[in-house]
Structure 1
Amino acid sequence: MTSGGKVRKLGVEEEFQLVDLDTRRLVSRAEDILAALPPDIYVAEMQRFVVESNSSVFSDLSGLRDNLLKNRRTLSATAERFGVGVAAAGTMPLSIPADLQVTETPRYRRMLADYQLLAREQLICGTQVHVDVVDRDEAVRVARRLEPWIPLLLALSCSSPYWSDGSDTGYASARTLVWQRWPTAGPAAPVSSAAEYDALIEQLVASGVITDPGMVYFDIRPSAHLNTLELRICDSCSSVETIAAIAGLFRALVVREAELLAAGLPPIASMQAPMVRAAIWQAARSGMEGELIDPLTGRPRRASDLLLELTEALRPQLEESGDYALICDLVHHALRIGSSASRQRRVMRRRGLLTDVVDLMVAETAGQPSAALLPLEGGSMLLGYRRLDRDELPASGSPAYDEAIDERGEPRPLYADVLGAVDRIGPVSLRRMQYAVEREQGRQGVTFRATGSPRANVFPLDLIPRVVTAEVWQELADGLGQRAKALNAFLRDIYGAQQIIGDRILPPELLDRAPGFRSIGRMPRWQTVRNHISGFDLVNTGPGEFSVLEDNLRVPSGIGYAMANRAMMDQFGADVPHPGELLSTESIPQLIVDTLRAAAPPGADGDPHVVLVSSGSTDSAWFEHTMIAERAGMPLLGTDDLVARDGCIYWRKRGKERRIDVIYLRMEEDMLLTSSDGEGNRLRQGIVDAIGSGNLSLVNALGNGVADDKAIYAFVPAMIEYYLGEKPLLPQIPTWLCAERDQRDFVLANLDQLVVKPIDGFGGTGITIGPSATEQELDARRAELLANPERFIAQEVLKLSTHPTFDGEGLHPHHMDLRVFIHLRAQGEDIESLIVPGALTRVAPAGSLIVNSSRGGGGKDTWILHH
């Protein structure tokens, strides 16, 4: 209220980014679009990819909200005629700064010349809220009193997690970091009257640092041209509801502090300037999903708690303006959907596409509800699951088997307590838990570099665990132990007498086409075990019905991420109840060390020295390398730490050398053999000499890639019967070898119903999934099959099991697989198999059947039950 008892009016200025609807990149088309819009509402900004919109002035908050939405829709519809989308966001993830242009006015040209980098990198947009004041003296004094509260309003608006090169900045508002580089940005002016404020501005202009009063960018200030107090700290935000909430709360804050000021009372909260800056930084980092600094105590508190408490504290002022009920709705809506920064990251996690982030911002800005804004059905978190009566099932048969939810949308008994707890926790608290997990992953370096990504990102962990019963786990242990032994026998045979070919179990031409078959694999003869550590990818198609999808016998990765997932759930998922006693992952590092020691060569002494050799920090699984080495107490080395001499391999540290008996090889063999040692000598001959002399073991052995070949995979059941005299305990996927003419012809005739894979593919690359492929993709694959059929195999399209996966709002079914690890150890002439007490569940992006981490998928903690 003003001193006259009237409701203070308010208005909003919004800045919008313009993006090309084809490329989704920022585009300098403001001049063309503004020419088709009313000039009293829409104006130019410094950058030509930005348009500013000015609302009308309102006393009622609902009128302001409707006006903002109307202006956005008008702008979006006009821009669309030019092939341009409009996005309300602090930053956008796709741009080419060199292509972006400054608006051609003398003022903006001078700013570009004077401020250079600051002006060129002004790829940001904000929102300003104006509230009426009695006079400029009141504006100046109230501004100082409001400083402790504005970080919370910034947190509500946070919408700039990505920078223009597509990188995740680690902040909810990267715009704030960029904005605060300007010389007059930051907290309110430290003055107590309008006269002092004006004198300060005159001094700043006279100093030559700024050219005019319009360049005063305090986070909260008297307006330069209106009788208002202006809030400038907020990001541009795609949710009109969130902007309306900020405007209503800001007006109530102004009214409350103005009343206290008029009564000669101190402000509700007071902070010194360094604490204000710290609080702003914290809000920019965390947004609404983390903790903020409590203005009353200076201590960290949950942002959602602070927002709800502030709303209730402002109830008298909100009721006077008639805003209380609306603000309560808007605040709860904002908490339910999360900050824009959080929604952008959630969309990015689904498919790993920055274009999805842009599309989300464009749709939300235009007022179109996104998936993140859909209402929860009946309050349940099972947003993505619909109850089906049996007569409503698809005509093609049952949908993919969901391990946690039955056909009617009800939790299966094994998951009843888990999903019941998740329902009680709710989406807001789950988002906060997810944010805490990601922060901790960042601190610990739990990262993975997806294919095509310029940098490693945190390995996404879904908070809904997967449960594997003790009975199923024992079946996997038996079946995969059998498979690992058969593959080991195959590797020893194929690099030796090749009896399996002589007995016509495998066609000899199979080896001619196998890229992983290497002459260097023929040594050493003394090595009983070749695949000491194997990783097997399995898919579940029904209750306990696991099939082997792939074998990984070269450099199987993932166990470190399984251990990290368990640690994160133990730390942050305590509210999710265990359905029984779980297998612990704590023994895994020692298990690895024991397996490496068991692989010691004949020339090793009684205490074999084991090391881990990695390709370094650029490796996609570098986190895992460092974690295993640290927890297992192994030296972590690069190839330049090695020295080859006299049929041995040494590692050099601080001028001293120590002989290595076993190398746990966490890099591709070609990289190892073509690298140089610490003395500049090519390692290949030194490695060959050391292995041949019985002085070195590699885990896993050289040449194992032949067993990873997807054409070889088709013969593993035959290997089990041939080498072990047993029937396979676990099924695998029916496979067609396109090198065989009749099988190729069948694949070509059924290409739209099959999955086609390169025989040497990994990381999910080069795969064509027939039912979801375009005609162009099928035609391209058809041409490849006709030209080079020997490079491909085909398999049935499986209905991989799904599992409830939290997307920030509700639980949706995502496909997943399971990577299980088997260790082999020689016991004389016998071989012992051990299953690692932990497994990696990998989760596909939404709508995808490819779960590989290199394609942007994530993981779940795998809860393996004891008997």
Structure 2
Amino acid sequence: MGAELTLGVEEELHLIDLQSWQLSARAPQVLSRLDQTWYSAELQRTTVETNTAVVRTLTELREELLRLRKGLVEAAARDGLGVAAVGTAPRSTFSDFELTATGRYGRMQEQYRLLVDEQLICGTQIHVGVSDRDLAVEIMQRVAPTLPVLLALSASSPFWNGQNTGYASIRTTIWQRWPSAGTTGELSSAARYDQLLDDLIASGVIADRKMAYFDVRPSSHAPTLELRVCDACPLVDDAVLIAGLFRAAVRAAELDVLAGRPRVQQAAPLYRAGIWQAARGGLSGDLLAEGEHPRPVPAPVAVRSLLHRLRPQLEELGDWDEVTDLTEATLARGNSADRQRAAFVEHGQLDDVVRQVVEETHGAAAGESPATPVLRRYRSRAGDEAVGLNAQPRPVYREVIEHVRALGPEGMAITGAARDAWAAQRHLAYVVAGPDGTREQPFEVDLLPRMIHQHEWTQLEHGLVQRARAIECFLRDVYGEQRIVEDGVLDRAAVVGAPGWEDRARRLPAGVVRAPVAGFDLVRNEYGGWRVLEDNVRNPSGVAYGVAARALMDAVVPGMPRPPALLDPATAFERLRSTLLARSRPGTRAVLLSSGPASGAWFEHRKLADGAGLLLAGVDDLDVRDGVVLHRASGDPVGVLYLRLDDELLDLRDRTGRALGEEVFEVAAAGGVVLANAPGNGIADDKAMYRSVPEFIGYYLRERPLLESVPTYRLSDESERRAVLERIGELVTKPVDGYGGAGVLIGPAASAAEVAARRAEIAADPANWVAQEVVDLSSVPSWNRTEATLQPRRVDLRAFVYVTGTGAADCHLADVALTRVAPEGSLVVNSSRGGGAKDTWILVDRGADAREGDTGVRAGR
């Protein structure tokens, strides 16, 4: 038989210094203590390769891998080293590379330079016995469409050169730079394969046959077909699973050859696309389904589809039960990339990630047993902040989730009733208009908090302060000298006369702070990265709701375990007060000017005024005399007006019809009163202007943005509009001047009729619309009353920066954030669209920054 279907594995393993958690170039010393039958050197001195004996069963393969790892771990321990079977060592940097001293490797470094110097990567090579080389070449081409699934299962290299790359397997991208990596293209025989190698060697591009680094190839040194595309796997069972699937795929291809079934040759660009897709998303994104015209499907669907397609061969080989169990276990816990990202999120330290992969490499084949009971009914998903793919609560959420489990459905029902009563008594609600007038809609706070780690909050603080400074600089400039227009950074038509522009705002005094209260909507994607979704500098709301959510939780669930370092959101009141008073004249009062009880955020207006010590007033409570704004009831002069209006200040009239808004503005223009969040600010939080905020940061601050924006299309641009009109069903479209979720259409959730209607609206008035790529929001558990269980719900975050100037020291991120929660199955979090909220627990130890220093990783770009 041409395919003996034996198994063997070569593993490349990093050596890790257990004190510094960095790579160690002591492979020669370690290898001197090991049997060269099983262990050998690699290109880099930080790596050792193991070679198993030839085996016939998956059980034997597992035992071999464990045997060789044990031997290497024991030998490395004598030098204080550990071993990590991982695509890239999480803390590796370019400077860690040291070449193994052989003539061949020296020649390679001389020829390929940086390409060699960046090869701090490790893979798993799986050999399946195929002694007939013509058959091996034929099988090689037939199994190619299965390789992206195997790569996704193995993906273990999200971190590289100190960065979170955004890839599940950055090793693949590094490896594919070799001129002989990837696919061979169509070949008719082993002779043609050999001629290809001869031609490559003759070209001088590769030095020898060992440099045939194709993703799958006839082995250069054994009668096998060799799979080379996979990352090294920290858990032995992941490598065993891939070996089982690959062997079954080889057998399936052999049977097709014997039956004379024609080969369907996949186009090389589609093959490369499938490999790239697997490297990018791993098991958390989409994979391309097998077939002549592949389409993206969720990774678990692609994995299970391959498993069931190979069932006859797996049963023939006696592997079906074991491979099925291994498949479900891997899908449940995620691949190594998923686990590494989860480890990093806990504290933002790469040392934690390195420690995890070393422990997995040294440990049991299947990894450690779960620390706590799984949430069996929880619909686990990639990107859940609190629960892993294995339905295990993440460490920071364990005590909270256990508290909820201990209460049980009956206890949660009682607690939910207490919450509703507490909220009703305090009118924790927002006001909505109906056919019979306005009414209060309860602002529902879920009984599980959302937690933000210290390193994440620090990242957000730096990025949002930067963004608030740039927006304040922009507002001062466009209503002043308009340098950004004169220098050609923005077109004049995109500013003057655009939605939100108010020409009279140019009359306010130079140097006035125009946006002392800035709100930012943020989302966290399935890879753990934060993005700014919207800027709000007209009328940002949510501070009082965030404070109320904490007060509710303290009253209703006082026994829920609290972390020791937890910011108090109520400190935002004093921060608001000091911000408003910073530019007001001594002896004057600060007033929150509200549209009154019919305003949607009337609850907030009352609570902010009470908490920050502001006078709460409507237009009829003010007067203007002799160039001074007065509070009618007290007669006190007003130094600052915090505008929380549903209408524009300049349109305000009192009950007598007096144009009091214009009079107030005239006083502000003369410097007699400060307007907090002044008229004209809408130009900065216009949805189309949002796209230009990174340019503001570069232009005004001479810095690179610290937080990324969501890719946004400005539809007044003809080329962007044409592209968007073809993709309405894939994008989020929204009016440039919209707020509260009004007018937002999420394409993937829309009907064909809704998509067609939106396309017509955009075509009729393109400048009124923007489009954004869909962000698959992260999720946090919420209590589902109907099912009496925890279920994931999508969330966003609104954070607030208080601004007294344009310097970094003049801007402060408030200790409060509002987590907004989408309804079941929705991506829209706005309260007016059925969303709720969570108490946001910001876990910050104020002294920790000085003690811990840098997080050790930079945000991927």
Q: In the alignment, what sits opposite 1:346?
A: 342
Distance 1:87 1:373, change over 3 A: farther
Equivalent-residue separation in structure 2 for 1:256 and 1:855 (angstroms): 51
- The aligned counterpart of 2:697 is 616
User: Any residues of structure 2 matched to 1:433-452 within 5 Å, and which?
Assistant: 449=459
CA distance change for structure 1 residues 63 and 849 in 2, over 3 Å: closer, same or farther?
A: farther
String of CA shifts for 1:37-96, please: whole Å, max 9, x gaps: 111111100011111111111111111011112211221222122111111111122124
Q: CA deviation at 1:319?
A: 1.5
Task: Check whether the contact 2:169–2:282 (CA below 8 A) recurs between aligned residues.
Answer: yes
Distance 2:848 2:839 in 1: 13
Structure 2 CA distance for aligned equivalents of residues 11 and 489 of structure 1: 69
After superposition, where does 1:266-665 map in structure 2 within 5 Å?
Answer: 266-267=262-263, 270-296=265-291, 297-368=293-364, 376-377=373-374, 379=376, 405=404, 407=406, 412-414=411-413, 449=459, 460=524, 521=583, 523=585, 528-529=590-591, 602-604=667-669, 608-610=679-681, 612=684, 616=697, 618=704
Are the equivalent residues in 1 in contact too, given 2:457–2:842 (CA < 8 A)?
no
Q: Give 1:124's match in structure 2, choosing from 117, 121, 125.
A: 121
Distance 1:61 1:452, change over 3 A: farther
Q: Distance in 2 between matches of 1:524 and 1:234?
A: 69
Query: CA contact under 8 A between 1:72 and 1:366: conserved in structure 2?
Result: yes
Cα distance change on mapping 1:85 and 1:312 into 2, 3 Å: same
- Counterpart of 1:61, as a letter, is L
Q: Which residue number corresponds to residue 18 of structure 2?
A: 21
In structure 2, C-alpha distance between the alignment counterparts of 1:117 and 1:378, rounded to whole Å: 47
Tell me the residue number matched to 1:842. 840
SS at match of 2:667: coil
8 Å contact kept, 2:576–2:802: no
2:222 corresponding residue in structure 1? 226
Give the alignment's TM-score, normalised by structure 2.
0.55
**1:514 matched residue in structure 2:** none
- Deviation, structure 1 residue 528: 3.3
Alignment of 1:102-117 (within 5 A): 102-117=99-114
Other structure's SS at 1:242 match: helix
Identity of aligned residues (%): 35
Distance 2:684 2:666 in 1: 16
| Candidates 85, 89, 108, aligned match of 2:86 | 89
CA change 1:470–1:56 in 2 (3 A) is closer
1:150 CA drift (Å): 0.8
Query: Aligned partner of 2:177: which letter?
Result: R
Cα deviation for residue 164 of structure 1 reads 2.0
Matches of 2:550 and 2:106 in 1, distance apart?
Answer: 72
Look up the match of 1:176: 172
Q: Which residue of 2 aligns with 1:134?
A: 131
Secondary structure, aligned partner of 1:104:
coil
Change (3 A) 1:108 1:820: closer
Alpha-carbon distance in 1 for matches of 2:124, 2:70: 17
Report the Cα distance in structure 2 between the residues aligned to 1:130 and 1:841, rounded to whole angstroms: 53
- Residues 350 and 845 of structure 1 are in contact (CA less than 8 Å); yes or no, is this contact kept in structure 2? no
Q: Gaps (5+ residues) in structure 2?
A: 381-385, 388-397, 417-455, 468-520, 528-543, 556-567, 595-606, 614-642, 652-660, 686-692, 699-703, 714-733, 740-798, 821-834, 856-861
Q: Tell me, in whole angstroms, the C-alpha distance in 1 between the residues paired with 2:75 and 2:808.
A: 60
Residues of 2 paired with 1:301 and 1:142: CA distance?
25
Call closer, same or farther: CA 1:411–1:621 in 2, change over 3 Å.
farther
Supply the distance in 1 between the matched residues of 2:337 and 2:99 (Cα, whole angstroms). Answer: 27
Q: 1: distance between equivalents of 2:262 and 2:680?
A: 70
**1:316-354 CA distance string (max 9 Å, x none):** 211221111111111111111111111111111122111
Asked if 1:70 is matched to 2:67, the reply is: yes
- Asked whether the 8 Å contact 1:818–1:842 carries over to 2, the reply is yes
Deviations 1:592-651 (A, max 9, x none): 986999895724599932355988375656759999x996579xxxxxxxxxxxxxxxxx
- Equivalent-residue separation in structure 2 for 1:374 and 1:280 (angstroms): 34
**Structure 2 residue aligned with 1:250, among 237, 246, 249?**
246
Cα RMSD, aligned residues only: 5.3
Per the alignment, do residues 288 and 819 of structure 1 end up closer, same or farther by CA in structure 2, a change over 3 Å counting?
closer
1:649-688 to 2 correspondences below 5 Å? 669=804, 671-672=806-807
After TM superposition, give the deviation of residue 105 of structure 1 in Å. Answer: 0.3
Given the two structures, how large is their TM-score scaled by the length of structure 1? Answer: 0.54
Deviation, structure 1 residue 670:
5.2
Deviations 1:566-600 (A, max 9, x none): xxxxxxxxxxxxxxxxxxxxxxx996986999895
Contact in 1 for aligned 2:137/2:193 (Cα 8 Å): yes
Give 1:406 deviation, angstroms. Answer: 5.7
User: Using a 3 Å threshold, how does the CA distance of structure 1 residues 168 and 416 change in structure 2: closer, same or farther?
Assistant: farther
Return 202-211 or 67-76, whichever deviates more.
67-76
State whether residues 7 and 321 of structure 1, in contact with CA within 8 Å, keep that contact through their aligned partners in structure 2. Answer: no
Query: How big is each residue's C-alpha offset from its partner over 1:784-815, in whole Å with a ceiling of 9 and x where there is no partner?
Result: xxxxxxxxxxxxxxxxxxxxxxxxxxxxxxxx
Secondary structure at the counterpart of residue 449 of structure 1: helix
Q: Which secondary structure does the structure 1 equivalent of 2:591 belong to?
A: coil
For residues 754-769 of structure 1, what are the structure 2 equivalents within 5 Å?
Answer: none
Distance 1:71 1:591, change over 3 A: farther
SS in 1 for 2:164: coil
Question: 1: CA distance between counterparts of 2:286 and 2:415?
Answer: 31
- Give the letter aligned to residue 840 of structure 2: R
Q: 2 CA distance for matches of 1:619 and 1:595? A: 33
Whole-angstrom distance in 1 between the partners of 2:736 and 2:644: 8
Change (3 A) 1:472 1:227: same
Q: Deviations over 1:835-857 (max 9, x none)?
A: xx986743457999999xx999x
For 1:247, give the aligned amino acid: A
What's the counterpart of residue 160 of structure 2?
A: 163
| CA shift for structure 1 position 209 | 0.7
Alignment deviations for residues 504-544 of structure 1 (CA, whole Å, 9 cap, x no partner): xxxxxxxxxxxxxxxx6453776733899xxxxxxxxxxxx
Using the alignment, how far apart are the partners of 1:522 and 1:102 within structure 2?
Answer: 66
**Between Structure 1 and Structure 2, how many residues are aligned?**
551
1:232 and 1:820 mapped to 2: Cα distance? 44
Q: Which whole-Å CA distance do the structure 2 matches of 1:247 and 1:278 have between them?
A: 23
Instruction: Verify the 8 A CA contact 1:21 1:85 in the aligned structure 2.
Output: yes
Alignment check: 8 A CA contact 2:235 2:367 kept = no
Task: For residues 131-187 of structure 1, give each alpha carbon's deviation from its aligned partner in whole angstroms, at most 9, with x where no partner exists.
Answer: 11131111111101111111111111001111122x111111101111000000011
Q: CA deviation at 1:8?
A: 1.6
| Aligned 8 A contact 1:488 1:529 in 2 | no
SS of 1:232's partner is strand
In structure 2, distance between residues paired with 1:149 and 1:341: 20
Q: Secondary structure at the match of 1:186?
A: coil
Shift of 1:671: 3.6
1:10 is aligned to 7
Find the aligned partners of 1:186 and 1:199 in 2 and give their Cα distance: 17
Note the C-alpha offset of 1:303. Answer: 1.6
Unaligned runs of 5+ in 1: 386-398, 418-445, 496-519, 533-546, 554-588, 635-663, 675-701, 709-761, 765-816, 822-836, 857-867
Give SS of 2:339's match.
helix
The separation in 2 between residues aligned to 1:346 and 1:66, in whole angstroms, is 29
Structure 1 residues 110 and 414 mapped into 2: Cα distance closer, same or farther (>3 Å)? farther
Tell me what 1:50 maps to: 47
Which of the numbers 166, 184, 191 marks the counterpart of 1:195?
A: 191
